Amino acid sequence: MSSTLLTEDTGVPFHQLQAEQIQLFRDAWKAAGHAHDAKVSVSRSIFPVVSEQDRAYFGHDAGSQDQVGHLDGGPARFGRTYAGEPEQLVKELAEDEAIAAADTLLLTIPNQLGVDYNAHVLDAVIRHLAPELGWR
């Protein structure tokens, strides 16, 4: 499982760095002689804007970028929040190399907005993004 935070920063976009780490892990897994393939999941914060409430909560995150900071005394890269109109998100998510490399995508949603709103976010992802991206 690789989250929306990496405790290194090599200057490449988050999704590319994470995809590199996935490949390194899979190579090490294979070199260790495991008989089955390694399974990898990544997490993302994804918010399709399909209502005015979505726009109020996440409209300001449209066009979000990776952020670089320091964690435990070293550089760290934080992945962006994907928020925006479904058509735009489909394009952006299709270019995310780590999502493409992973076996599973875990959606990170803010529990403080409540069960009903979180169910709405999940429904919006399932209805507006998943079919276009071939997710099941």
> Going residue by residue through the chain (136 aa), what tens digit of pLDDT does each one get?
988 888 887 888 989 999 999 999 999 999 999 999 999 999 999 999 999 999 999 988 777 788 788 888 888 888 889 999 999 999 999 999 999 999 999 999 988 999 999 999 999 999 999 999 999 8
**What is the DSSP pairing of strand 5-6 with strand 74-78?**
antiparallel
- Predicted pLDDT at 7: 81
**Lookup: tokens for 65:** 């970028």
* Domain assignments of the chain as residue spans, ordered by start: 5-133
**What is the DSSP pairing of strand 41-48 with strand 104-107?**
parallel
- Predicted pLDDT at 104: 95
- Predicted pLDDT at 50: 97
- Predicted pLDDT at 20: 94
